[in-house]
Amino acid sequence: MSRPVVIACAMAEEAQPFLEALEPDASVEVPVLPAGFRGPADFRGGILQGHPVVIATTGIGMTNAALAAAVVASQLRPRAVVFAGTTGGLGANVHLGDVVVSEYALYHDADATAFGYAPGQIPQMPEKYPADPWLRATASGALRAKGLAFHTGTISASNSFVDGAQVEPVRARFRDVLAVDMETAAGAQVCWSFSIPWVSLRAISDLCDPNAGEVFDQSAPSAAATSFAAVESLLGSPPRRLHP
């Protein structure tokens, strides 16, 4: 069995469409967590669109995302990591249900500018983390062929849910950011550290406005289904492989 593709979702509701479509296959290796492990990470292996995959439900927040990514990176050396699920729309032209294909990921709450670093840059780390160009281009072509609305650009993360009180400072400082979440940048940093190709295919579940929480509750299931369709399209793209 070849190395798997890891599909990382923060919440069980985001992972559910993938788990329902997953063909069980005991030959797909999943990480082994040590006795006494108390994190929320959960890993399920199987076949999706002909590919061995591991569905990683990481838990919400950057530390949980990084923890799960480090586990799969060190134990599985996956062919690729695809971050899936929901995201808040920050860009002026994004709409509910649109898919955002990541070009870069950064931290919009990181600020070491006093030491000469760029806004969003962790000291001694890259200013932002690039998604794999091959995965990004293949995903964009697959979404275009499927007729799904999508945008390609920068995504950002923090440990705060961005709503009306926070959105304008983030928009003012990061004008090229299309969407925000609480996990992807942390997972992308781990992938960068391990030289593992990654891409994010999250769907817009709210528009980071004063009603973002309420809208998220209503739209999250639909956005999760759209993200699943986007990832499924990527996996099913000809040629039926993901990254050498």
Determine which one of 13, 14, 109, 217 is catalytic.
Answer: 14
Neighbour-count burial for 29-60, b at 16+ CB within 10 Å, e otherwise: bbbeeeeeeeebbbbbbbbbbebbbbbbbbbe
Question: What does the DSSP 8-state code read for residue 198?
Answer: E
Length in residues, the chain: 244
Is residue 224 helix, strand or coil?
Answer: helix
Is 232 a known active-site residue? Answer: no
- Distance, C-alpha 45 to centroid of its chain: 18
- How distant, in Å, are the alpha carbons of 136, 164, 207, 209, 224 from that of 168? 28, 8, 12, 10, 26
Q: What whole-number distance in Å separates Cα of residue 244 and Cα of residue 25? A: 22
Determine which one of 103, 163, 206, 232 is catalytic.
Answer: 206
Is 14 a known active-site residue? Answer: yes
Contacts of 176 (CB under 8 A, 6+ apart): 153, 154
For residue 135, give the amino acid letter: L
Q: Which residues are catalytic?
A: 14, 206
